[in-house]
Structures are given as structure tokens and as C-alpha cells.
Amino acid sequence: MAEVRLRVELEKFKAVLARLKQRTFPDVPTLRKDFSLIFFVPKWSGAETSVPLEEFLSSIDRASRIGHRDESDRLQVAILRLADPAKAFYITFVQSSTLKTRHGRSSKTRSRMI
């Protein structure tokens, strides 16, 4: 008898829980980011023979809007589509910025303090 009553209570609890989940998390479709359009963004090297910078940035922007990407995704796409020598410049820039950030001051600030 007690077992039957517990099963009935359990079924009621499951029904209440299901209703709460439905109210809290309605069936809303989530947007997925489409990264397949990255390959339509031309590589950019900064050389005279590469596409103009405006065209490169514009193609990143268009592909990002279509693929539902945010600003951090756009930055990553831009980095991925860099070619030498632009890629080498970027890597050097990131390394020097990391060193400045790690030490807390730029070299100019340190030299003024001495």
C-alpha cells in the first residue's frame, strides 16, 4: 500500500517537474554559428598583390553576419586568414604585448622610472 502511494506521488512530482522545466526552459531554437563561410574570406598578407585591407575586413564582416558570429569570432577569423608577412607581424605583436602585460609596464614606462 505504501509502495503504491509512493509511486503515485513520484508520478505527480515528475509531472510538476516537467511543467516547471517547460516554463523555465521553453523550447526555443538556439542559433548555431556557421563557420563554413570562413573559406570565402580571402587570405591577407599585407603585400601589394593581396586583396585590399578594406575588402578583407568587409568579407569577414559579411561572413560573420551570415554565420551569426560575434566580435571575438570575427577576430579569430581574421587571425586565421592572415598569411605571411602579416601573420609574422601579428605573432610578433602579440608576443611583445604579452611581455608588456606580463611585466605590468611598457619599456617606456620603465625607462622613465629609472
The predicted-structure confidence for 38-88, as pLDDT tens digits, reads as follows: 888 999 999 999 999 999 999 999 988 888 888 988 999 999 999 999 999
Residue 16 lies in a domain: no
Structural contact between residues 22 and 54, judged by C-beta atoms closer than 8 angstroms: no
Q: Is the pTM of this model over 0.85?
A: no
12 phi and psi, to 5 degrees?
Answer: -65, -45
Range with the poorest average pLDDT among 1-10, 54-63, 78-87, 92-101: 92-101
Residue 95 lies in a domain: yes
Q: Is the pLDDT of residue 109 over 50?
A: no
Residue 113 lies in a domain: no
Residue listed under C-alpha cell 568587409? 58
Domain containing residue 44: 33-106
Residue % of the chain over a pLDDT of 90:
35
Residue 3 lies in a domain: no
User: Residue 30: what pLDDT?
Assistant: 59
Residue 2 lies in a domain: no
Could you give the number of structural domains in the chain? 1
Residue 37 lies in a domain: yes
CA atoms in the 13 A half-sphere facing the CB of 4: 1
Residue 1 lies in a domain: no
Provide the grid cell at 2. 505504501
Interior/surface letters 71-109, b for 16+ CB within 10 angstroms, e for the rest: eebbeebbeebbeeebbeeeeeeeeeeeeeeeeeeeeee
Who contacts 26 (Cβ-Cβ below 8 Å, separation ≥6)? none
Residue 24 lies in a domain: no
